[in-house]
């Protein structure tokens, strides 16, 4: 709730409002503008009614802010945003494939997976060095050694890297290697982590919490934006439902819903949604058709030996099929497939590359 004071209101009027707000258990945040004073209310505003506040001296208007997210909302930012990751666009003009292993295990495995990702049409490489595992006995990732492998593989393949950070204390370290930081489903409401990634100058991919509503997801994004980082990519990765045939239920309707509510790009993770290899490509097609701005897909050279999520990793013929989908589906959805940056290019040159590819042109 925001109280707009009239230009003729006095200091005493403002103090009286602030006192009433404090008495109701909220915190007033008073901003004195050139012509008006605005009082924002922080806290549970349940005990304050709009009509009571309107009746107080000096009050011009009381605005109930419909959305609790402002910076990421589309209300005041009609154009949908494009986020640039190492010279690769993620946004409304393109379909961007991010692919790679769930976890970085060895240099050889990561390089093989990156080559497969590139062959499938990926512009960005994914791979976790810090893994948020449900079991404390499961492989937790290689840590900084994994980040060094990713940096090496980026050097060898030219694919910018997307990698997860799970601890606010590691944000600077991970950001020093990554082209985009990933905040996973289990950390969507880790507010200290959200604020920490909001304070670094690298794009952030924010996965939807498996139990989170769309509004909670957007408020989590607002935490990042509020710290000054608006380079946020939202990722729908499936939610928990009563269904047990799939690992999660892909909430496909979240894609257009969030694109209407927020200007941020929205991508889909068909791997973690279904949790099953046979579902990844059908879900990827559905996501592209519905207008997702990109896909993030698990790939592994030897899924049977994977230390994490082998059951959902694409390999072999699936890679050729994914390449076919990436060549044909984005143009059908009115988009160009995003390409990896050509060596030495900047974001601007990346733009030209995309424009050169032509909206709707076959890749």
Binding site for Mn ion (CB under 5 A): 102, 309
**x-marked contacts with ligand PEP along 197-216 as a string, rule CB under 6 A:** ----------x---------
For the CB of residue 83, give the shortest distance to ligand PEP in the complex, in Å: 18
Whose Cβ is closer to ligand PEP: residue 136's or residue 344's? Answer: 136
- Of 17 and 284, nearer to Mn ion (C-beta) is 284
Q: How far is the CB of 137 from ligand PEP (least distance, A)?
A: 17
| Those residues with Cβ within 8 angstroms of residue 43's Cβ, 6 or more apart along the chain or in another chain | 25, 26, 27
CA 178 to chain CA centroid, Å, is: 15
What's the rounded Cα separation, in Å, for the pair 15 and 361? 62
Site for ligand PEP in 59-118 (CB under 6 A): 102
Judged by CB under 6 A, does residue 300 bind ligand PEP?
A: no
Instruction: Pick what 185 binds: Mn ion, ligand PEP, none; C-beta below 5 to 8 Å, kind-dependent.
Output: ligand PEP
Q: Which is nearer to ligand PEP, 73 or 179 (CB)?
A: 179
Pairing status of strand 2-5 against strand 37-42: antiparallel
By beta-carbon proximity to Mn ion, the closer residue of 94 and 185 is 185
Minimum CB separation of residue 245 from ligand PEP in Å reads 18
**Of 51 and 134, which has the nearer Cβ to ligand PEP?**
134
128 near ligand PEP (CB under 6 A): yes
- By CB under 6 A, name the one of 82, 185, 190, 315 that touches ligand PEP: 185
Q: Do 175 and 200 meet the contact criterion of CB atoms below 8 Å apart?
A: yes
Tokens of 175: 């950001």
Q: Shortest approach of ligand PEP to residue 264 CB, angstroms? A: 17
Among the listed residues 58, 89, 160, 184, the single contact to ligand PEP using CB under 6 A: 184
Q: How far is the CB of 310 from ligand PEP (least distance, A)?
A: 13
Q: Of ligand PEP, Mn ion, none, which one does residue 335 interact with (CB within 5 to 8 Å by kind)? A: none
* Residue 259 structure tokens: 């694109």
Q: 118 or 272, CB closer to ligand PEP?
A: 272
What's the alpha-carbon Rg for the chain, to the nearest Å? 23
- Find the part of the chain contacting ligand PEP (CB under 6 A) among 11-19, 81-89, 180-188, 318-326: 180-188
* Token pair belonging to 299: 């790939």
- Cβ-closest residue to ligand PEP? 184
207 binding partner (options ligand PEP, Mn ion, none; Cβ < 5 to 8 Å by kind): ligand PEP
Question: How many Å apart are CA 304 and CA 313, to the nearest integer?
Answer: 9
User: CB 18 → Mn ion: shortest distance, Å?
Assistant: 49
Q: Which of residues 223-252 bind ligand PEP (CB under 6 A)?
A: 237
Query: 58 or 130: whose CB is closer to ligand PEP?
Result: 130
Return the HEC string of the chain: CEEEECCCCCHHHHHHHHHHHHHCCCEEEEEECCCCEEEEEECCHHHCCHHHHHCCCCEEEEECCCCCCCCCECCCCCCCCCEEECCEEECCCEEEEEEECCECCCHHHHHHHHHHHHHCCCCEEECECCCCCCCCCCCCCCCHHHHHHHHHHHHHHCCCEEEECCCHHHHHHHHHHCCEEEECHHHCCCHHHHHHHHCCCCCEEEECCCCCCHHHHHHHHHHHHHCCCCCEEEEECCECCCCCCCCCECCCCHHHHHHHHECCCEEECHHHHHCCHHHHHHHHHHHHHHCCCEEEEEECCCHHHCCCCHHHCECCHHHHHHHHHHHHHHHHCCCEECCCCCCCCCHHHHHHHHHHHCCCCCC
Q: Which does 251 bind (CB under 5 to 8 A by kind): ligand PEP, Mn ion, none?
A: none
Q: Is 146 in the site for ligand PEP (CB under 6 A)?
A: no
| Of the residues 118, 247, 272, 339, which one makes contact with ligand PEP according to CB under 6 A | 272
Residues that bind ligand PEP (CB under 6 A): 102, 128, 132, 184-186, 207, 237, 269, 272
């Amino acid at each position: 709730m925001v109280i707009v004071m009239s230009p003729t209101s006095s200091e005493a009027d403002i103090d009286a409002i602030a006192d009433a707000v404090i008495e109701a258990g909220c915190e007033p945040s008073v901003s004195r503008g050139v012509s008006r004073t605005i009082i924002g209310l922080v806290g549970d505003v349940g005990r304050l009614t709009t009509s009571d506040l309107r009746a107080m001296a000096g009050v011009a208007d009381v605005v109930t802010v419909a959305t609790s997210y402002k910076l990421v909302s589309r209300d005041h930012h009609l154009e949908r945003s494009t986020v640039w990751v190492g010279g690769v666009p993620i946004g409304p003009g393109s379909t961007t494939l991010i692919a790679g292993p769930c976890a970085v295990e060895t240099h050889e495995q990561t390089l093989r997976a990156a080559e497969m990702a590139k062959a499938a049409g990926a512009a960005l490489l994914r791979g976790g060095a810090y893994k948020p595992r449900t079991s404390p006995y499961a492989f937790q990732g290689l840590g900084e050694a994994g980040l060094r492998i990713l940096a090496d593989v980026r050097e060898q393949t030219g694919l910018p890297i997307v990698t997860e950070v799970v601890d606010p204390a590691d944000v600077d370290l991970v950001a020093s290697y990554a082209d985009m930081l990933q905040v996973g489903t289990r950390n969507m409401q880790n507010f200290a982590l959200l604020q920490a990634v909001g304070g670094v100058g690298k794009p952030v991919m924010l996965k939807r919490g498996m139990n989170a509503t769309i509004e909670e997801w957007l408020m989590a994004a607002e935490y990042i934006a509020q710290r000054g980082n608006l380079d946020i990519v939202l990722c729908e990765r499936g939610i928990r439902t009563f269904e047990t045939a799939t690992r999660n239920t892909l909430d496909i309707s979240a894609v257009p819903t969030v694109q209407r509510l927020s200007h941020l790009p929205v991508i889909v993770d068909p791997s973690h949604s279904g949790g099953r290899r046979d579902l990844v490509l059908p879900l990827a097609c559905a996501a592209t058709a519905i207008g997702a701005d990109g896909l993030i897909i698990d790939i592994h050279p030897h899924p049977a030996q994977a230390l994490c999520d082998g059951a959902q990793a694409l390999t072999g013929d699936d890679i050729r099929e994914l390449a076919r989908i990436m060549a044909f589906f984005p143009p059908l959805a009115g988009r160009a497939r995003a390409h990896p940056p050509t060596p030495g290019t900047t974001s601007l040159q990346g733009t030209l590359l995309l424009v050169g590819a032509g909206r709707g042109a076959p890749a």
